[in-house]
Amino acid sequence: MEPQNIGRYVVKSRIGKGGMATIFLAHDPMFGRDVAVKVLPREFLHDPSFRGRFEREARTIAALEHPAIVPVYDFGEDNGQPYLVMRYMRGGSLADRLQKGPLSVTEAAHILDRIGAALDHAHQRGIVHRDLKPGNILVTPDGRVKVLDFGVARVARSPDATASLHLTTGGLLGTLAYMGPEQIIGDQVSTSTDVYALGVVLFQLL
């Protein structure tokens, strides 16, 4: 059963579900606007690794203010369940767009430029996305490009940057097809990790 409210936010519908979170379209009565609310699945509530990663995402994205990064409005807990509130934006993922076929060189160049600008903004602040892929890139109906899901982002200069990349289920943090060699073997990630992934995305665009 879907929740009726998450904190002060009135849930309208579920709009997405991934391995680490469920996303709801909700209404914020305080500001009279629709928002996207990202909620940690209940099966992970007692897992400090997943929970800590979710909370880190909120603080990480909140520090990033860039036109090509979806902004965070709020963060909190509802009955012990953490949630992240982001701007709701209409559109589809770049992965959805690629299912229709390759892009033109002009369109690919525009998308690459915006992704690169978003990553540069994050990298200048010591933040590595670590899971860049078409599914984490939103393209709005008017052609704006937004980088999503810094859920496995890590501050590159942090002491735990070489910590294990494995989930409790034994999988890797990130998406294997887009991982650089250093990420696969569990070595220290860097801005080069995102540049490698961006190169894979560019190959797919064309």
Q: Are residues 54 and 16 in the same domain?
A: yes
One-letter amino acid of 201? V
Q: Are residues 71 and 135 in the same domain?
A: no
| Sequence-distant (≥ 6) Cβ neighbours of residue 9 within 8 angstroms | 24, 26, 27, 28, 35, 37, 85
Q: Are residues 198 and 126 in the same domain?
A: yes
Whole-number Cα distances in Å, 168 to 47, 172, 173, 184? 9, 9, 10, 16
Q: Are residues 113 and 72 in the same domain?
A: no
pLDDT band of 51, cuts 50, 70, 90: confident
Number of domains in the chain: 2
Distance CA 107, CA 97 (A): 11
CATH of residue 104's domain is 1.10.510.10
Q: What is the pLDDT of residues 52-83, one digit of tens each?
A: 777 777 787 788 899 999 988 998 888 878 88
Residue 28 annotated among the catalytic residues of the structure: no
Catalytic residue, chosen from 96, 113, 131, 160, is 131
Domain that holds residue 60: 5-87
Mean pLDDT of the chain: 83
- Residue 65 has φ and ψ, to the nearest 5°, of -125, 105
CATH of residue 25's domain is 3.30.200.20
Q: What is the pLDDT of residues 6-40, one digit of tens each?
A: 999 999 999 988 766 789 999 999 999 999 998 87
Q: What is the mean pLDDT of residues 163-178?
A: 52
Domain boundary at 58, 87, 116, which?
87
Domain boundary at 87, 115, 148, which?
87
Q: Are residues 81 and 103 in the same domain?
A: no
Q: Are residues 116 and 152 in the same domain?
A: yes
